[in-house]
Amino acid sequence: MSIQPTPPALSIAGENFGSALMAGTAGYPNRQVMLDALSASGAEIVTVSIRRVDLTGPRESLIDLLTGKYRLLPNTAGCATARDAVLTAGLAREALGTNWVKLEVVGDRETLYPDVEQLLKAAATLTEQGFAVLAYSNDDPITCEKLADMGCAAVMPLGAPIGSGLGILNPYNIETICRRLTTPIILDAGIGTASDAAFAMELGCSGVLLNTAIARADNPVGMAGAMRLAVEAGRAARAAGRIPKRLYAEASSPELGLIGS
């Protein structure tokens, strides 16, 4: 039997990673729990936001805690226009020395749904400026295809609204997006528990990005470990190929040789 090299769990913009899970850094009970949870998750890519320096308060630096251990993926969370998102991405590149950006342009504060018009505009500008754009998108195959065609490094459709924990509300769309595009698809937002993360991978996603599901769990470190296993299990199941769904039963034990026949 030949030994096959183990393929990387995730490849984005020419870089390989050993885990298909990306984790956020917000909302943990404290910094130590965050560090322990990130470690338990197996994630190699973690997201950060870009915010004004607090000129009055203490200045403990998040990147001192994370640099060297993780690839930091800055986001443009909170931006409502292409203009703000492009400026934030530029500031992130300057602050962190990375051309990777998780592009988020939201249309309103209640749903936090992407503003597709502004999102596409920002993605076009940023890809032109040489950014590796990981675009947070609606679970709409056409929008996702447009983002992929622009040259985004990854397209990240939402499973459900950010922080809702509702899981994958439209698995048909997620599967369609994964089937139609060769760009890595990362399920971003909506994950509530481990089975949601496994489901995303089973549907064909290349990875899963989550934050709240770990950070706000009763035991964030325990949930982080569960997410690591879920993503691995879902990826393995996808690779192994599930059976087709049937409407009726099909006996798995042999029909022949039954006693009394």
Partner 1 sequence: MEISLNGNPHRFAGLNLVDLLAEHAIDQTKPGVAVAVNDSIVPRAEWATASLKPGDTVEIVRPHSGG
Provide the token pair at 224: 């982080």
Give the C-alpha separation, 104 to 119, whole Å: 7
Stretch that binds partner 1, among 56-64, 126-134, 196-204, 227-235 (CB under 8 A): 56-64
Please say if 69 is a catalytic residue.
no
Residue 91 engages partner 1 in binding (rule: CB under 8 A) = yes
Q: Output the smallest distance, CB 224 to partner 1, in A.
A: 14
Number of residues that bind partner 1 (CB under 8 A): 35
Stretch that binds partner 1, among 44-52, 124-132, 137-145, 234-242 (CB under 8 A): 44-52
Measured from the CB atom, is 25 or 146 closer to partner 1? 25
| Cβ burial, residue 206 (10 Å; 0-12/13-18/19+) | buried
The residue within the footprint of partner 1, chosen from 40, 43, 50, 106 (CB under 8 A), is 50
Residue with tokens 């197996």: 42
Q: Smallest Cα–Cα separation from 122: which of 103, 148, 141, 102?
A: 103
Residues in CB range of 237: below 8 A, 6 or more apart: 198, 201, 202
Task: Give how far Cα 233 sits from Cα of 195, 198, 202, 208, 238, Å.
Answer: 10, 6, 9, 13, 9
Site for partner 1 in 208-247 (CB under 8 A): 211-212
Measured from the CB atom, is 91 or 237 closer to partner 1? 91
Helix (H, G, I), strand (E, B) or coil at 130: coil
Stretch that binds partner 1, among 84-92, 114-122, 221-229, 242-250 (CB under 8 A): 84-92
Stretch that binds partner 1, among 87-95, 124-132, 227-235, 238-246 (CB under 8 A): 87-95
Residues in CB range of 184: below 8 A, 6 or more apart: 10, 11, 12, 153, 154, 155, 206, 207
Q: Output the smallest distance, CB 74 to partner 1, in A.
A: 6
Residue with tokens 């990306």: 22
The residue within the footprint of partner 1, chosen from 41, 75, 143, 183 (CB under 8 A), is 75
Residues that bind partner 1 (CB under 8 A): 24-28, 34, 47-53, 55, 59, 61-64, 72, 74-75, 77, 87, 90-92, 94-97, 162-163, 211-212
Which residues are catalytically annotated? Answer: 102
